[in-house]
Amino acid sequence: MVIDVTSYEVVITSDRTMMSNHHGKEFLGFLATGPAVGLPEKLWMWLAAPKIKVDGEGRPIEAPYGLRKIEAKLIDAGFRAAVIDPDHIHKHLDGMKVLMVGHHDFFAYGPPSNEWWLITGEEPVNRLSFMRFMRSETVRKAKAKGVKVIAGGPAAWQWLWELDFWRECGIDVVVDGEAERVIVDLVRKALDGEELPNYVFVGPADTPSIDEIPVIKAASVNGLIEVMRGCPRGCKFCSVTLRPLRFIPLDKIEKEILVNIKSGITNAILHSEDVLLYGGDGIKPRPEAVIKLHEMVRKHVKGSIAWSHASLASIKYAEDNFKLISRLASEYLLTEGQNFLGVEVGIETGSPRLAEIIMPAKSAPYPASMWPEVVEDSFRIMHENTIIPAATLIIGLPGENSYDVVKTAELIDKLRPYRSIIVPMFFVPMGVLKNRDWFKKQYLTSDHIDLMIRIVNHTLYWAEDIMNKFYLREPYLTPLRFLLKLFIQYVKWRLSRLVPVIEATTHR
C-alpha cells in the first residue's frame, strides 16, 4: 500500500525517550534517565516513555516543547518543516533535506542520568535509545543521500565529548543555546548547499527577543508551555541564568494553551525557572502578575496545572508576605480536577557557607546565611498546601568540603516531615562553572554516601505515600502503579545490600 504523505524538507525529531508523554505523567519521564534497573529494557522503556499517538504522516499528537518551537519558527519562515515521530521518519526519506535532532540529554551526561550511570555502572536508557535511533537504517539512509544533520537543544554541548559518534552519524552542525535567531538562516544555508559551520554557541547577545519567539503550531508534551525564559538569580552552576530574563506575554501563553486544548490536552505545565517570578520585581514575586497568569490558565485548563520549577525563596517570600501560595492553591490550583500540584525545586546544598559562594542570590531576598531556614520554611508551606516538590541537590559542587556535606545531611533530616521527592545529583559543569571538572566516582567520600542514603530513605518513604494518596490514581494506570511499587521494593532491597559494598570502596 502506498501511503500518500506530505513531503517535508525539514524533519525535526528525537528518540523515543523524548518523544513520549510518559503516560501523561511528566515525572515518569525521569525513569528514562536511568538504566533499566531490575526490569527488562523494553518494559522499562514502556514505563518511562511509551509510544505516542501519531497522524498518518507520523506527526506526533504531542511533541517536546523545544522541538515545537523550532518547528514553528521554520514554518513561520516558509519552510516545509514538521516534527516527526522517530518510528515514522522513513515516510519522509524522499523529500527530506535537513534532519534536526534535539534532546535534553543525548548521551546521559546531564543530571540525573550521569549519576544513575555512575552508581549502577550501566548506561541509562536515554543514551541507549538515542544512539540506537541515530544508528537506525533510516538515519543512515538519510545521511547517505546527503541529508544535512543538525543537532541542538539543552544537551548540545555533550557532542563535544562524543566525537567518534559525531563522525559516525555525520553530524553537520551542533547548535548550543536558544536557536530562534539563528535557525532559519542555518536551515536556509543547509538547503542551499552552503558550507556549514561545525558548532554554533548562541551567546546572550543573540538570544531571541519576545517577538522572535514563535507560538507553537501543535501540541506540546503534557501541555507544557513556557511563561518565562532566563533567571535573575545568577547561580554559578546553572546555564539558564546566563540568558536575559524575558516574560512571555499572557496573550502568547493563552494562544499556546489553546493550541494544546485543540489537540485534546487538558492539562498544563507552566514552564519557567521560577513560576512565582512571572512579572516579578527582580527577585521578589508580584502577586498581581502571578494571579493574572493563573486566572487565565485556569479559565481554559480543566485538568491539572503544574509548575515546572519554582524557587524556594520565592515560595517563602510569596506566602509570608502575601499568602500567595495558599491563595493560588485554593482558588486556582487545587480545584475539582486536581488534588495536588507538582513542581521541581532546587535545594542544591544545605550549607550556608557554600550557598554564599556558589548561589548567593538563590535565597534572595533572604540572606544566603538563612538558606537552610528558607528551604525548611518553603517545604512546610508546600506541604501545608498539598504542593509536592521534586527537589534536586548537588553533590560535589566546586569548593564543597565535609562541613558542607554534613550541613546538607542535617537539612535532609529536618525535611523528613514534609512530603517530597529529593534527588541527589552529581555536579555537572554548566553555567559559569562549565569549564570545571566533573564530579567523579573516586571523589565520593563516606560523608557523601551517608548523605545519599538519607536522601534515598527520605524519597522512598514519601514515594509510597505519594503513590498511595496522589499519583497514578486513574484506574487505567493500575498496572503502572503496580510496577512502580514493585520497583520501590526492589530499590529498598538493593540498597540494603549495596550500602556495605559502597562504603567499603569509598574513602574518608
Q: Which residue has the cell 563535544?
A: 160
Residue 242 in the binding site for other proteins (CB under 8 A): yes
Joined grid coordinates for residue 407: 550541613
Among 53, 135, 161, 486, binds other proteins (CB under 8 A): 161
CB of 431 to other proteins, least distance (A): 8
Amino acid letter, residue 105: D
Question: 91 phi and psi, to 5 degrees?
Answer: -70, -15
* Distance from C-alpha of 274 to C-alpha of 284, rounded to nearest angstrom: 11
Quick one: cell of 454?
Answer: 538519607
In whole angstroms, how far apart are CA 130 and each of 32, 34, 171, 359?
11, 13, 14, 33
Q: How many binding residues for other proteins (CB under 8 A)?
A: 31
| CB closer to other proteins out of 199 and 403 | 199
Answer for which of 30, 95, 431, 491 binds other proteins (CB under 8 A) is 431
Question: Which amino acid is located at 386 in the chain?
Answer: T
Nearer to other proteins, 204 or 417 (CB): 204
Three cell numbers at 190? 543547509
Determine if 193 is a binding residue for other proteins (CB under 8 A): no
Residue closer to other proteins (CB basis): 70 or 328: 70
| Of 6, 56, 122, 199, the one binding other proteins by CB under 8 A | 199
CB atoms within 10 A of CB 399: 12
Between vectors from CA 173 to CA 204 and to CA 180, what angle results, nearest 5°? 40
Interaction between residue 432 and other proteins (CB under 8 A): yes
Q: Which long-range contacts (CB under 8 A, 24 or more apart) does 228-233 make?
A: 228/271, 228/272, 228/273, 228/274, 228/275, 228/277, 228/278, 229/178, 230/273, 231/273, 231/274, 231/277, 232/277, 232/282, 232/283, 232/361, 233/273, 233/274, 233/283, 233/311, 233/359, 233/361, 233/362, 233/364
CA distances from 65 to 276, 305, 359 (A): 21, 16, 28
* Residue 166 contacts other proteins per CB under 8 A: yes
Q: CA-based angle 307:311:316, to the nearest 5? A: 105
Burial of residue 230, with CB atoms counted within 10 A of its CB: 0-12 exposed, 13-18 middle, 19 or more buried: middle
Closest distance of CB 354 from other proteins, Å: 21
**Of 36 and 183, CB closest to other proteins:** 183
Amino acid identity for residue 129 in this structure: S
Q: Which is nearer to other proteins, 79 or 157 (CB)?
A: 157
Contacting other proteins (CB under 8 A), which of 56, 193, 197, 337? 197
* Under rule CB under 8 A, residue 160 binds other proteins: yes
Task: Give the nearer residue to other proteins in terms of CB position, either 30 or 166.
Answer: 166
Query: Would you count residue 80 as binding other proteins (CB under 8 A)?
Result: no
What span, in angstroms and rounded, lies between the C-alpha atoms of 283 and 366? 10
Peptide bond into 479 cis (omega under 30): no
User: If you ran DSSP here, which 8-state letter would residue 507 be given?
Assistant: B
Q: Please, what is the end-to-end C-alpha distance for the chain in angstroms?
A: 66
Query: What 8-state DSSP symbol labels residue 301?
Result: -
* Residue 163 engages other proteins in binding (rule: CB under 8 A): yes
189 binds other proteins (CB under 8 A): yes
* CB closer to other proteins, 202 vs 305: 202
Choices 142-150, 197-205, 215-223, 378-386 (CB under 8 A): range interacting with other proteins: 197-205
Count of CB atoms situated within 10 Å of the CB of 232: 15
Selected from 429, 438, 443, 485, the binder of other proteins by CB under 8 A is 429
Q: Choose one: 198-206, 250-258, 307-315, 395-403; the region binding other proteins (CB under 8 A).
A: 198-206
Nearest-approach distance from CB 476 to other proteins, in angstroms:
45
Among positions 55, 76, 122, 185, the unique one binding other proteins when judged by CB under 8 A: 185
Binding mask 201-230 for other proteins (x = CB under 8 A): xxxxxx------------------------
CB-based contact 308:275 (threshold 8 Å): yes
User: Contact with other proteins (CB under 8 A): which of 6, 55, 135, 198?
Assistant: 198
Binding status of residue 167 toward other proteins by CB under 8 A: yes
Toward other proteins, which CB reaches closer, 435 or 496?
A: 435
Q: Are 190 and 97 in contact (CB under 8 A)?
A: yes
Please identify, using beta-carbon distances, which residue of 201 and 482 lies nearer to other proteins: 201
181 binds other proteins (CB under 8 A): yes
- Distance CA(161)–CA(155), nearest Å, equals 11
User: Which part of the chain contacts other proteins (CB under 8 A), choosing from 154-162, 405-413, 474-482, 498-506?
Assistant: 154-162
Considering the complex, what minimum distance in angstroms separates the CB of residue 376 from other proteins? 33
Task: Compare residues 190 and 248 and give the one whose CB is closer to other proteins.
Answer: 190
Q: Determine, following the binding rule CB under 8 A, whether residue 493 of this chain makes contact with other proteins.
A: no
Told to check if 449 binds other proteins by CB under 8 A, we report no
Residues that bind other proteins (CB under 8 A): 157, 160-161, 163, 166-167, 171, 177, 181-182, 185-186, 189, 194-195, 197-206, 242, 429, 431-432, 434-435
